[in-house]
Amino acid sequence: MKGLEEIYLKGFSLDKYFGIASADELEKLEELYKNIVISDEFVNRIKGINKKVPVLASVETWCPYARVFLTTMRKINEINHIFDLSLITYGRGVSELAGYLKIHEDDFVVPTAVFLGEDFSKLRVFNGFPERYHNDSTLDTIDGTRNYLKGKFANDILEDVLSIF
């Protein structure tokens, strides 16, 4: 089994992610980018962070949940580059990351992101969507899921990923 640092170092960038996306996927990413608005409260919070955190994320361009997650991360980094993203495919996530995180192959989803300490220890795992959604029924309705995938619940992602600071 490979350590998180080794997997992280073999990942690819957000720019490469955009480079492998289809025209339709890029259009959806652009629409999300326009829809996600970060409140002044979160902007100030993000600006006040003075450290960088490596993030290893298993993603796919076809996955709408991954697109919402990555677009939110992109917006955060445009305010203050606090996350160093290293991306891997779903296949590498299942074969290399799932075992390390003790996630059964059948339960592994994209995006699965690991927020890492300076020594590449696991600080937090983002598994599909914000943690609170694992315990409530927010995404159990068609409207809830549609709104999430349109970027309308980005504040919940922000709250979740910024909790490591």
Look up the CATH number of the domain holding residue 92.
3.40.30.10
Q: For the chain, what is the mean pLDDT?
A: 95
- Tens-digit pLDDT profile for residues 100-116: 999 999 999 999 999 99
pLDDT of residue 1: 42
Q: Confirm if 128 and 109 have CB atoms less than 8 A apart.
A: yes
The SS3 of residue 91 is helix
Q: Count the domains in the chain.
A: 1
How many Cβ atoms are within 10 Å of 29's Cβ, its own excluded? 18
pLDDT of residue 137: 75
Backbone angles phi, psi at 51, to 5 degrees: -145, 160
Which tokens is 20 given?
A: 């492998």
Residue 48 amino acid letter: G
- Domain, as residue range, for 52: 4-162
Which tokens is 36 given?
A: 């996600």
- Tens-digit pLDDT profile for residues 8-31: 999 999 999 999 999 999 999 999
Distance CA 157, CA 73 (A): 9
Pairing of strands 83-88, 53-58: parallel
Which tokens is 61 given?
A: 């361009």
Distance CA 162, CA 145 (A): 22
Which tokens is 87 given?
A: 């991306």
Distance CA 84, CA 41 (A): 22
